[in-house]
Structure 1
Amino acid sequence: MAEGETEETAEASAAESAAPPAPSQTPAAEVFSTGMAKGRDRLDSATSTSSLKGDDIDRFGPRPLGDVLRTMAGLRVATGIGEGNNNYTVRGLPLAAGGSKYMQFQEDGLPVLEFGDLFNVATDVYLRNDFSVSAIETIRGGSASTFASNSPGGIVNVISRTGEQEGGRVQVTAGLDFEEKRIDFDYGAKLGENTRMYVGGFYRQGEGPRDIGFTGWRGGQIKANITRTFDKGYVRAYFKLLDDRSPTFAPYAVNITGTNDNPTIRSFPGFDLRRDSTLSPYLGAVLTLDRNNNPVALPISTGQSAKSKSIGLEAQFELGGWTITEKARYAVNGGDFSRMFPNRQNTVSAFANSIGGAGSSAVYASGPLAGQTIPGGSLINGNGLLSLYFVSFVRARSLDNFTNDLRASKVWDVSGGKLTTTAGLYFATQELDTTWLHTAMIVDANGGGEVAQVDIVNAAGQPQTLNGYFAFGRESSLFRRIFDVDYRVLAPYGSVNFHIGKLAVGGSLRYDSGRVRGQLFGADLGGGRQGLTSFDFNRDGVINPAEARTAFLPLDRPAPVNYDYGYLNYSVGVNYRVAEPFSVFARYSKGARAAADKVLFTPTVNPLTGNVPSGDRQDDVIQYEAGFKLRRNGITVNGTVFHVEAEDQNVLNGAANATNRVYEAQGVELEGNIVRGPFSLMLAATYTEAKIVEDRIGGVFTGKEPRHQPDWVFVAVPQVDFGTFAAGANIVTITGSFSQDSNQLRMPGFTTVGAYVEVQPAENLRLTVSAQNLFDTLGIFEVNQASVPANGIGFARAANGRTVQASLRLAF
């Protein structure tokens, strides 16, 4: 259930989600509640919001949450990484490093993780899109900063079904041009006059949308809840079990030519950037030293192996005219997460010489050609490339959290108007116990899931690598880390809203206080700590050059983390309903995001005391918004102009590349929907003009445009539904943006199209064929290079190529 939502509005939302689009030309009041004190009609709310119903999501086929959110107004989502660890932000705010720094991801009104941008384990790795999703609500700016912690930019709330609709569904899905099988199911029923239950989930298995040569996707989740309703209230208990494995994709070899202003970016022969990967059954394990500096071999097929067990309780009741809402959840989160990061690549001879010196040669170390020398000038795999990849293996021993949100609201009759008052108390704990382990491999660029490891031998015949491993860590000792830190958050909050006639005026505030305690272990903490050693992995009594590049953890020299923080968030807004179908609003908000792991292992933290200077404990965000909302005769139009000021302290690639910046952005956001009989069309457009107004470290990037910031994002979702036949598409266009903050290489914009065709041969039977990236567009989300490389060889991360799947659903 959404933040502040009543049982009655939840039932209405679920019923609307479960039913086909109504033919009425006059939409009913749209009740929205995420990030607000109480659910209210959007025309009476001074906020920018959007929602997407579960059945509208299902029609486009099973797909990751990131692909769903790309089609929602005001959000900027860079996918292509995999099921999770994608990058999210809201209009105007920078796409800072990875995850969702300024936005909080919630499930049924409570955060999945307290911080959305934890290194290598972003919130979306613990969220799945399946039948259990009743709706997704998003609020951008506005009161998000005062009704949730660490969410100054907005909130994404995934709302679960709770059994209002009796009966069940079973759906089987198979990839038509890729290898994956999946089954989805759910069932809702009454257990008595005032009691109902719901259970839903999925299981899948297969290679997935890219050629990796093994079963990369395996697992699923199950969610269940039971609800007891009573006069003016309800109690609900629920649980979720997630155990799911999926691959992680990285920037791969790409050919970049042309000019910085107008580059040509294309796949190399033998390696398609849209459907190939460096993952392969021919790659060895992640050989390294573990958390206790003992040798270990970890499967490279691990990918994103996310595990989560959670139980929760919701209750709402009336007491003395006050509506009391209590939400609590305890989640045990963990898993292993492996991904490959590119370091450098070149032609065979040039690459070999860069490792072993002039006259070096390359030899296959794995795969069907193991032991064969690779001729220096040969175009192996059609491209003649070798690459060095660092393999990151993060072991999340605990990302457990407990969250409790208690609030009370009351509506008072005052001077002919309605005064709504709300007071609440939020308490949360978040554990961060992770270990970073690495190895390094030299590989070729071979498509079809046949990438192999390669050894380098110098001119004297001496091996410079070991069975395709360049190092058992990285080249240096960086990124060999243990995080063992606990966060506690306590946040009292409150709001008032006075609604009289056409006018509504409101304000809210929240004081976030946090306690951060723990310790760090790592070679990159400063203070003379060392983290490189030699280790005889193959037990031959000889230290190979790769074995001499072994990273270890200095376990006898921990660094403390010990600081507290506190800051005030507030938001004020005014809404004027000019006429029944039309309103205008304005809002000012100031919020912040507490520093989490991105400031650890940087000079910001005192290595002796664990203290963080007061000015570095959070990043502030200021937002100005003004807009209008129109809803009449099947047409909805929302428009917002915005101005954003945001701080960002972050780490892009180690402490040496720490950033501390101030950003400004302004722009316009438009969203519209039209319904005419069986036809509907949703349109959205966001224009953003952004710049780095202050680069506090060096000043080099002051005045530059932030990387990965397109001027325009367009979304269109046309659909037609005749009952027994339906079809639709989602079209997402982003314009060009700079690959790096130096503002040289400009990545081209692109458009991706998803589509579905659905037929219903019987009342309880439905067949759907759906496609993602229907036209197989080469859509570039990320380029590692800051300018066009002289040799035309670069790394880029792209959207997955076309995937087509068929689903057969039986309802009962």
Structure 2
Amino acid sequence: MKRQFQAVLLTSALLTPAILFAADAQAQDQAAASTETVAPVDEIVVTAVARGQNRLNSSVTVSSLSSDDIAKSAPRSVAEIFRNLPGIRSESSGGEGNANISVRGLPVASGGAKFLQLQEDGLPVLEFGDITFGNADIFLRSDFNVGRVESVRGGSASTFASNAPGGVINMISKTGEQEGGAIQATAGIDYQEYRLDFDYGGRIGDSLRYHVGGFYRQGEGPRKAGYDANKGGQIKANITKEFAGGYVRLYGKYLDDRAIGYLPNPVLVTGSNANPDYQNLPGFSINGDTLHSRYFRDNVTLDGSNNQVTRDIRDGQHPVVYAVGLESQFEVGDGWNVTERFRYSDVSGGFTSPFPSAVDTGSSIATALGGAGSTLTYANGPKAGQAFNGNNYLAQIVLFDVKINSLNNITNDLRVSRDFDTSMGKLTATAGFYKSRQTIATDWLWTSHLLEVTGGGNAALVNLTNATGQALTQNGTYGYGATFFGNCCRRSYDVDYNTNAPFASLSLATGALTLDGSLRYDFGSAKGTIAGADLGGGRIGVITRDMNGNGVISTPETQVSVIPTATAPVDYNYEYLSYSFGANYRLADDVALFARYSRGARANADRLLFGPAVSITTGKLTDSGAAVDYVKQLEGGVKYRNGGLTLNATAFHAKTEEQNFEATTQTFFNRNYRAYGLELEGGYRTGRFSITAGGTYTDAKIVSDVLNPAVVGNRPRRQAKFLYQVTPQYDAGIFSIGANVIGTSSSFTQDSNQLKLPGYTQVNAFLTAKPIDRITLSLNANNLFDVKGFTEAEDAAIPANGIVRARSINGRTISASVRFDF
């Protein structure tokens, strides 16, 4: 059935050019042939502002992507959508989640989106965007439910959202304003994945409307894993009751998805640190393969209660979300407008993916681990029991296996506003209160293995025996813990983070000038317990246990990590004040100048635990400043709109504090950064041709570092000086064709500024045809030219063996779709 489905779509895609050729003459008559342009409808900003307002009257930097814009970029994840937003650096190399996302040079010292908040319909997906192994994008999917994506960089994000001083990206759902829907079937042409999307919305009566949609997909995914690595889907629905002066909306979401998570993979690097040449290892493609394998599917480990379990590695990134919410706007009293948003999300799941702690030839690893004369044999797969060639590459795998017991969160944002007519102009006053509770409860169940490095999802586990005949592995397992990381990181924690934030703003519109100011006071607490041998204090983290039940203790069974029963408390409070002041001057109907200064902050969450900042005896902070990191930003620019031409330019300067912890390197950070630059965005439409483009130049550096002063003055790791995106399109009505080009200049792998990550340009292409009414055929290519685009690397310099552990964007994937609108 799958092959028949794929064949139908492939045939449709191959017929598309013929259909286009035959129909082009008809399109010439149907489409306007003149170059006359039509002025776009004024855009209303609704994200991270007091009230919805016209973009040209707003002193914030905002961009938006429509559902059509999203489709053109050929995204395979939400991170690939975000790359098309100016000022956003979205490292879309982790699969459908686990992306590192930053804005305007603000750092990514560890992972996730620390200073940037991801939202759905105006409320955060998670209160913190960088929860370890629980990045917010893991729990976010794009489908036909999305009406548009809106982003605000800097500015009022500091005062109209908590923990989001860098900005907000908001995925806004359709709510049934337009009657109708669509169903679309998509199949991979050169990769194995099959997906069905649908949505429908409209009116039930004069004052009642609804929308429902979702997707389901299954397949190996964009890389060769050896099994169906992506499997699951989502359904969302909302219903809106309109009444005089407002509306009330109820909505729900159910997400249950298994999506493979790609961590760094081995790549051969020659040349110099300043001018490196990244090449595939023999038999392993850095952008088409992964260390996942059909022969590496089960993880025998101990759970959070130290009971033996077998966990399925194929679960990958496994978000399970049940969410319900309410949104309402209405008028009360004498002109007061009330907006209420509430959501409760039950969030659980897991994160499992292999991380290479070291990669080398088999003989080198055998000698390093077992001594001279050690031998290697295949532990499973078609060569089980045969000798492993010592010249082939072998990876020491630490399997990141994390059980997410709860990331439940409840959020409420209530605000009231009113317009007042004064002698100086219209004064808008807004006041509100935000409340959230975010639970972070996870168990870290890591193990260590030896795995051959080969592509196609065919890597087998490997056994090691020393010269005396002693087996140092058990079915390819070297230790039942993070043995290659010094047996660290067997952890369990359950902490609740309460956030409270009253906020207020005033905006005065007087003629062409608009002035606004806003304040937000966040205060909160972290309360709970943590457990793990990393806390020290005599806690024992490694025991001996018969894991296979054969009555004999093997060497790996003497390296079994457990979670100590002794827990440590977490019990501290934090507070911070944010403010933002802006001015916007409308020079003419189509030109506006703006400027803004803001101070915002971000409360540190679970990455602060297990470090020196929290006392393991009292749970209080040992460093009162560690709980909060501040961001100060100055920005100003010009906005221009005339007919089919749109131009926006924003200059920015930011100072950032950063305290963080990185799990893969066991490294703490405590430093300050500064960044300045220029952000450009524009679009032009004439007749059938349109183009949108954006570019961001950033000069960032580390200005102080408490723990590692040697990096002061260097550029932060993975921070490119220039990012850009360009999307040209030709639309003839009956068909359209275009490309989405994403690019970046070079950056450094680490803060020491030695090894470079080369710049790259990725081209995504799309072709759609409408041969008959309501039917759309599409051919969609992601990374058309199959480039290697490196987003991060673990190694600061080229190792002696030339093998670097790095993450690349996915290679070329081409899909075909058939869509029916009704």
When the two structures are superposed, what TM-score results if normalisation uses the length of structure 1?
0.95
What is residue 570 of structure 2 aligned with on the other side?
561
What is residue 460 of structure 1 aligned with on the other side?
468
Note the 1:597-612 alignment, pairs <5 A: 597-612=606-621
Cα distance, 1:432 vs structure 2: 0.9
Cα distance, 1:244 vs structure 2: 0.6
Residue 75 of structure 2 contacts residue 81 of structure 2 at CA under 8 Å; is this kept in 1? no
Residue 591 (str. 1) matches residue 600 (str. 2): yes
What is residue 193 of structure 1 aligned with on the other side?
206
CA distance in 2, matches of 1:559, 1:598: 15
Question: Deviations along 1:252-289, whole A, 9 cap, x unmatched?
Answer: 12101100100011111200111111111111411111
The verdict on how the C-alpha distance between 1:23 and 1:244 changes in structure 2, with shifts beyond 3 A counting, is: farther
What stretches of structure 1 of length at least 5 have no aligned partner? 1-19, 378-383
Among residues 414, 420, 426, which one is paired with 1:412 in the alignment?
A: 420
CA distance in 2, matches of 1:766, 1:166: 18
Note the 1:530-569 alignment, pairs <5 A: 530-555=540-565, 557-569=566-578
Cα distance, 1:528 vs structure 2: 2.4
Residue 237 (str. 1) matches residue 250 (str. 2): yes
Question: Deviations along 1:322-359, whole A, 9 cap, x unmatched?
Answer: 11101101110011210111101211211111110011
Cα distance, 1:540 vs structure 2: 2.6
Q: Secondary structure at the match of 2:156?
A: helix
Note the 1:210-359 alignment, pairs <5 A: 210-319=223-332, 320-359=334-373
Residue 206 of structure 1 contacts residue 216 of structure 1 at CA under 8 Å; is this kept in 2? yes
CA distance in 2, matches of 1:285, 1:509: 51
Question: Deviations along 1:41-92, whole A, 9 cap, x unmatched?
Answer: 1111111110001122134446210011111111001111110111101112
What is residue 16 of structure 2 aligned with on the other side?
none
Note the 1:636-647 alignment, pairs <5 A: 636-647=646-657
CA distance in 2, matches of 1:141, 1:62: 25
CA distance in 1, matches of 2:388, 2:118: 48
Q: Letter of the aligned partner of 1:364 in structure 2?
A: Y
Q: Letter of the aligned partner of 1:576 in structure 2?
A: Y
Residue 492 (str. 1) matches residue 502 (str. 2): yes
Cα distance, 1:526 vs structure 2: 2.1
Q: Letter of the aligned partner of 2:811 in structure 1?
A: G
CA distance in 1, matches of 2:663, 2:236: 37
Residue 687 (str. 1) matches residue 697 (str. 2): yes
Question: Deviations along 1:492-524, whole A, 9 cap, x unmatched?
Answer: 000001011111111000000102110001110
The verdict on how the C-alpha distance between 1:135 and 1:656 changes in structure 2, with shifts beyond 3 A counting, is: closer
Among residues 395, 402, 408, which one is paired with 2:403 in the alignment?
A: 395
Q: Secondary structure at the match of 1:762?
A: coil
Residue 776 (str. 1) matches residue 786 (str. 2): yes
Cα distance, 1:443 vs structure 2: 0.5
CA distance in 2, matches of 1:755, 1:420: 45
Among residues 186, 197, 200, which one is paired with 1:184 in the alignment?
A: 197
CA distance in 2, matches of 1:106, 1:60: 20
Question: Deviations along 1:424-459, whole A, 9 cap, x unmatched?
Answer: 011111111111111111011111110100011111
Residue 92 of structure 1 contacts residue 643 of structure 1 at CA under 8 Å; is this kept in 2? no
Residue 472 (str. 1) matches residue 480 (str. 2): yes
What is residue 577 of structure 1 aligned with on the other side?
586
What is residue 688 of structure 2 aligned with on the other side?
678
Q: Letter of the aligned partner of 1:96 in structure 2?
A: A
Residue 301 of structure 2 contacts residue 447 of structure 2 at CA under 8 Å; is this kept in 1? yes
Q: Secondary structure at the match of 1:710?
A: coil
What is residue 6 of structure 1 aligned with on the other side?
none
Residue 58 of structure 1 contacts residue 130 of structure 1 at CA under 8 Å; is this kept in 2? no
CA distance in 2, matches of 1:590, 1:546: 52
CA distance in 2, matches of 1:777, 1:504: 46
Among residues 519, 523, 531, which one is paired with 2:529 in the alignment?
A: 519
Cα distance, 1:655 vs structure 2: 8.8
Q: Secondary structure at the match of 2:471?
A: coil
The verdict on how the C-alpha distance between 1:60 and 1:701 changes in structure 2, with shifts beyond 3 A counting, is: closer
Cα distance, 1:152 vs structure 2: 0.3
CA distance in 1, matches of 2:203, 2:563: 55
What is residue 15 of structure 1 aligned with on the other side?
none
The verdict on how the C-alpha distance between 1:38 and 1:762 changes in structure 2, with shifts beyond 3 A counting, is: same
What is residue 422 of structure 1 aligned with on the other side?
430
What is residue 52 of structure 1 aligned with on the other side?
65
Residue 62 of structure 1 contacts residue 130 of structure 1 at CA under 8 Å; is this kept in 2? no
Residue 186 of structure 1 contacts residue 199 of structure 1 at CA under 8 Å; is this kept in 2? yes
Residue 356 of structure 1 contacts residue 457 of structure 1 at CA under 8 Å; is this kept in 2? yes
Q: Secondary structure at the match of 2:535?
A: coil
Choose 597-606 or 521-530, whichever is displaced more.
521-530
Choose 279-288 or 765-774, whichever is displaced more.
279-288
CA distance in 1, matches of 2:386, 2:156: 63
Cα distance, 1:548 vs structure 2: 1.4
Among residues 488, 492, 504, which one is paired with 1:482 in the alignment?
A: 492
Residue 621 of structure 1 contacts residue 644 of structure 1 at CA under 8 Å; is this kept in 2? yes
Residue 374 (str. 1) matches residue 388 (str. 2): yes
Cα distance, 1:23 vs structure 2: 7.5
Q: Letter of the aligned partner of 1:756 in structure 2?
A: F
Q: Letter of the aligned partner of 2:411 in structure 1?
A: T
What is residue 439 of structure 2 aligned with on the other side?
431
Residue 72 of structure 2 contacts residue 739 of structure 2 at CA under 8 Å; is this kept in 1? no
CA distance in 1, matches of 2:169, 2:75: 19
CA distance in 1, matches of 2:665, 2:39: 56
Question: Deviations along 1:606-647, whole A, 9 cap, x unmatched?
Answer: 010001132111000000101111111211111111110001
What is residue 119 of structure 1 aligned with on the other side?
132
CA distance in 1, matches of 2:138, 2:587: 43
CA distance in 1, matches of 2:806, 2:36: 45
Residue 603 of structure 1 contacts residue 655 of structure 1 at CA under 8 Å; is this kept in 2? no
CA distance in 2, matches of 1:127, 1:23: 40
CA distance in 2, matches of 1:650, 1:62: 30
Residue 74 of structure 2 contacts residue 764 of structure 2 at CA under 8 Å; is this kept in 1? no
CA distance in 2, matches of 1:299, 1:266: 32
What is residue 4 of structure 1 aligned with on the other side?
none
CA distance in 1, matches of 2:239, 2:76: 27
What stretches of structure 2 of length at least 5 have no aligned partner? 1-30
The verdict on how the C-alpha distance between 1:656 and 1:196 changes in structure 2, with shifts beyond 3 A counting, is: closer
Q: Secondary structure at the match of 1:742?
A: coil
Q: Letter of the aligned partner of 1:772 in structure 2?
A: N
Cα distance, 1:543 vs structure 2: 2.1
Choose 695-704 or 597-606, whichever is displaced more.
695-704
Q: Letter of the aligned partner of 1:154 in structure 2?
A: G
User: How many residues align structurally?
Assistant: 786
Q: Tell me how large the CA RMSD over aligned residues is.
A: 1.4
CA distance in 2, matches of 1:674, 1:178: 35
CA distance in 2, matches of 1:262, 1:654: 26
Residue 659 of structure 2 contacts residue 670 of structure 2 at CA under 8 Å; is this kept in 1? yes
Question: Deviations along 1:524-582, whole A, 9 cap, x unmatched?
Answer: 01222220111111223332221111110001x10000011111000001111111111
Question: Deviations along 1:228-273, whole A, 9 cap, x unmatched?
Answer: 1111200100000001111111111210110010001111120011
Residue 608 of structure 2 contacts residue 660 of structure 2 at CA under 8 Å; is this kept in 1? yes
Cα distance, 1:97 vs structure 2: 1.2
Note the 1:95-110 alignment, pairs <5 A: 95-110=108-123
Cα distance, 1:656 vs structure 2: 5.1
What is residue 664 of structure 1 aligned with on the other side?
674
What is residue 14 of structure 1 aligned with on the other side?
none
Cα distance, 1:416 vs structure 2: 4.4
Q: Letter of the aligned partner of 1:726 in structure 2?
A: S
Q: Secondary structure at the match of 2:137?
A: helix
Q: Letter of the aligned partner of 1:471 in structure 2?
A: G
When the two structures are superposed, what TM-score results if normalisation uses the length of structure 2?
0.94
Matched-pair identity in %: 47
